[in-house]
Amino acid sequence: MAKKKYIAWSPVRALMSENGAKIVARDAVDYLVSYFTDKCIEITQRALTLAKHAGRKKITKADIQLAIQGL
């Protein structure tokens, strides 16, 4: 089954273009979108663990920051 798309292709392509990558293969953008999605999932899972450890259900900015630092 194909992976569900959560991150739109166009904004990623625009970001790349604004940073100098004027010509980029579609599969390169698709790969970057897939990488972002995987990292977001990983960070969210770590942040959720931190929130639960603190006795909370809500993930805070601090949880996200700690999850990123711990990667």
pLDDT in tens, 21-63: 999 999 999 999 999 999 999 999 999 999 999 999 999 999 9
Tell me the domain boundaries of the chain.
Answer: 9-69
Residue 8 pLDDT grade (very low, low, confident, very high; cuts 50, 70, 90): very high
Per DSSP, the residues of 18-67 read HTT--S--HHHHHHHHHHHHHHHHHHHHHHHHHHHHTT-SS--HHHHHHH
Is 9-69 a domain of CATH 1.10.20.10?
yes
Look at residue 4 in the predicted model and tell me its pLDDT.
Answer: 78
For the entire predicted model, the pTM comes to 0.84
